[in-house]
Amino acid sequence: MTVSQSDLVLDADAQDLLFRDARTANTFSDEPVTDEQVQAIYDLVKWAPTSMNQQPLRIVLLRSEEAKQRLLPHLMEGNRAKTEKAPLVAILAADTEFHENLPRVFPHSPGAKDIFADPGFREQNAKLNATLQTAYFFLGVRAAGLAVGPMTGLNAGGINAEFFPDGRQQTLVVANIGKPGENAWMERLPRLDYDEVVTTL
C-alpha cells in the first residue's frame, strides 16, 4: 500500500506544525504566553466535537509563582523543575456537572440533562469528552506556534483536593506551555506500524 501526502487535504506546513515537526517540550524559553494566545487557542478548538455538545473540559492556568507552588508537590518528582520554569502551566480537568449547561448548549433536546442524572455515568462522560478536548487543546497550542509538554505523572487526587475542593472537577492531565528552550526534547521515539494499530473487517 502506497502512502502519499496527496491523500491529505491539509497543507504540508500545517501537517508539520501540528504533527510532524511538533514535539513534546521539556524546556522552555522565557518568552511569556499571553492570555490573548490562550483565548485564540480556545476560540479555535472549542469547535471540535463532544458527545451531545457536553464540553466538559475546564482549564486552570497557573501564572503566578504562588499558584505553581501549590501544584508542584502533586507532580512526580521528575516533572517538578521543568514545570516550575515553564512560562505557563495548565491543569486540564473534567467538569462532572457539565450537564447543567445542556439546556443552553443542546437546546433542541429538552430532556438531555436528565440523561445524566446518574453521577457515575456523568463522570464517565465527563472524563471521555474532556480527554478528547484535552487533545484538541494540545493541537491548538501547536496551532499558536507554541510547544506543549503534557504530563500524566501526577497525583490527581492531590491536585483535585488543592484546586477543586468542592469535588466538581477531576484532573486529567497537566501541561506546560511555551516556546521551546535549549535541548527541549528527546530523540523522536518510534511509532507503531499501521498494521499493528488498524484491522479491517
Quote the distance between the C-alpha of residue 103 and its chain's center: 25
Window 5-44: residues binding a second copy (CB under 8 A): 5, 7-11, 13-15, 17-20, 22, 24, 34-44
Q: Is 143 in the site for a second copy (CB under 8 A)?
A: yes
Helix axes 35-45, 119-143, angle to 10 degrees: 120
Shortest Cβ 75–a second copy spacing (Å): 13
Q: Is 72 in the site for a second copy (CB under 8 A)?
A: no
From candidates 111, 120, 166, 199, binder to a second copy by CB under 8 A: 199
| Bridge partners, 181 (sequence order) | none
Closest listed residue to residue 148, CA positions, set 67, 192, 87: 87
Shortest Cβ 194–a second copy spacing (Å): 5
Shortest Cβ 30–a second copy spacing (Å): 19
Window 148-177: residues binding a second copy (CB under 8 A): 148, 150, 152-153, 172-173
Shortest Cβ 118–a second copy spacing (Å): 15
CA gap 193, 198 in Å, rounded:
9
CA gap 51, 38 in Å, rounded:
24
Q: Is 61 in the site for a second copy (CB under 8 A)?
A: yes
Question: Which residues lie below 8 Å from residue 53, measured CB to CB, with a gap of 6+?
Answer: 102, 105, 106
Shortest Cβ 52–a second copy spacing (Å): 8
Q: Is 190 in the site for a second copy (CB under 8 A)?
A: yes
Shortest Cβ 82–a second copy spacing (Å): 15
Q: Is 76 in the site for a second copy (CB under 8 A)?
A: no
Window 113-142: residues binding a second copy (CB under 8 A): 125, 128-129, 131-136, 138-139, 142
CA gap 188, 33 in Å, rounded:
25
| Bridge partners, 28 (sequence order) | 180
Site size for a second copy (CB under 8 A): 87
Residue 169 grid cell: 472537577
| Residue showing cell 494540545 | 138
